[in-house]
Amino acid sequence: MKSPVTPLGEFALIGRFFKEASEAMLAAQPHSVALGIGDDCALLRVSPIDELAITSDMLVEGRHFFVDANPEWLGYKALAVNLSDLAAMGAKPLGFTLALALPEADANWLQSFSKGLFAAAQAFECPLVGGDTTAGPLNICITAFGNVPKGLAIKRSGAQVEDDIWVSGTVGDARLTLAALRHELDLNPQDLEAIQHRMHQPSPRIALGLALRGVAHAALDISDGLLGDLKHLLEGSQKDAEVYLDRLPKSPTLLKQAIHFQNQFAASGGDDYELCFTAPQRLRSKIEEIGRTLQLPLTQIGRIKPMQSERAVLTVLSADGMPIDESQTALLLQSFDHFA
């Protein structure tokens, strides 16, 4: 699910509006909701043993994908972004529903969309269980379900002072792909080929989420940009943090680009669907072991600090340990809107 602050200011307000109405209702009557709106997933109490994690995303043509998007990639990505929300909670996928509005029943498009969708479903063992199809402007709404043992869901609100802040994989390649497609910079065909799957077919970090149960204090997935999303985690946890800009993990392809592109794309690129999580320093070797087991680099990029004012503050440090200037920080924290 989207965080309350998105590039679309007024739609963020709508989200906040529904969140408040939901909270008022939950406060007024008994219910089975263990966690409501505002995290990567909601949690429902459905069993004495497990909680059910639920996430829903609506993808609209022209807003979340281009009109001529490859339907196979689109099918894959539509499910993958929901699975990424399950991963961020430490939930194991159980199934998903697909509601699809289509302007016309185009057999080739559907065949291809379905191929991508079921490729993701099979790769992450998350079967399609129901849904709806109707005529209408192209709209893809997927709701995904996962289970997580009671009390082990990894929320945005759990970060503790002195926790390490970690990021999985590398960040910035989805944004670099878009930059190449938009001719914002030149990328040779081999380099584009090497990274474009990061934008089109992101890998939800399900196995990592499962391994982080009982290890990470807090987590979220990086959909809008690493630093902007980390800011949401800090707001959820009511903590400050320091992050070293030089430590953001980048692919060899991104490392070939000009330094300002490297920093901007890694910090605020979005669409990478890596996990950002916090964990106590004493578990550092445990986390390194998880990375080795999963063959997924895990990089420690900073530290959680006590909150110094009424609002959570993320300080970005340069290599010498000094904060970078405020205007640059603001730029790096800005969530990236692929369709702005």
| Numbered residues of the known binding site for substrate | 64, 271, 336
The answer to whether 280 contacts its own copies (rule: CB under 8 A) is: no
3-state class of 250 per DSSP? coil
22 binds its own copies (CB under 8 A): yes
Burial class (CB in 10 A: 0-12, 13-18, 19+), 331: middle
Cβ 93 to its own copies, closest distance in Å? 9
CA–CA dist 279, 218 (Å, integer): 7
The footprint of its own copies on this chain (CB under 8 A) covers a number of residues equal to 70
Cβ pair 143, 82 in contact under 8 A = yes
Contact between 13 and its own copies per CB under 8 A: yes
Within positions 127 to 166, which residues make up the interface with its own copies, using CB under 8 A? 127-137, 139, 141, 143, 145, 147
Q: How far is the CB of 174 from its own copies (least distance, A)?
A: 19
How far apart (Å, rounded) are the C-alpha atoms in residues 219 and 275? Answer: 7
Radius of gyration of the chain (CA): 19
Place of tokens 């340069």: 318
Residue 55 interacting with its own copies (CB under 8 A): yes
Q: Which is nearer to its own copies, 106 or 289 (CB)?
A: 106
Minimum Å gap between C-beta 28 and its own copies is 8
CA distance 49 to 12: 34
Minimum gap (Å) between residue 336 Cβ and its own copies: 16
114 binds its own copies (CB under 8 A): yes
Residues 6 or more apart in contact with residue 132 via CB below 8 angstroms = 98, 99, 100
x/- binding map, residues 61-100, to its own copies, per CB under 8 A? Answer: xxxx-----------------------------xx-xxxx
Contact between 56 and its own copies by CB under 8 A: the answer reads yes
Question: Is residue 238 part of the contact set for its own copies (CB under 8 A)?
Answer: no
Looking at beta carbons only, is 32 or 308 nearer to its own copies? 32
| CA distance linking residue 269 with residue 259, whole number of Å | 14
Which residues lie closer than 8 Å to 68 by C-beta, 6 or more apart? none
Least distance to its own copies, CB of residue 151, Å? 16
One of 69, 86, 121, 276 touching its own copies (CB under 8 A): 121
The token pair at 74 is 């689109």
Q: Select from 203, 201, 211, 215 the least CA-distant residue to 274.
A: 203
CB of 58 to its own copies, least distance (A): 4
Label residue 259 exposed, middle or buried (CB < 10 Å: 0-12, 13-18, 19+): exposed
Q: How far is the CB of 11 from its own copies (least distance, A)?
A: 5
Contact call for residues 324 and 245 (beta carbons, < 8 A):
yes
Tell me which of 11, 181, 188, 246 binds its own copies, using CB under 8 A: 11
CB of 295 vs its own copies, minimal distance in Å: 23
Does residue 117 contact residue 79 with C-beta atoms inside 8 Å?
A: yes
Question: Does 317 contact its own copies by CB under 8 A?
Answer: no
The tokens for 316 are 């970005």
Query: Looking at residue 214, what DSSP letter applies?
Result: T
Report if residue 48 touches its own copies, rule: CB under 8 A. yes
Output the known binding site for Mg(2+): 40, 55-57, 85, 132, 221, 224
132 forms bridges with which residues in the sheet?
99
Interacting residues with its own copies (CB under 8 A): 1-2, 8, 10-11, 13-15, 17-18, 21-22, 25-26, 29, 31-33, 36-37, 41-42, 44, 46-50, 52, 54-58, 60-64, 94-95, 97-102, 105, 110, 114, 118, 121-122, 125, 127-137, 139, 141, 143, 145, 147
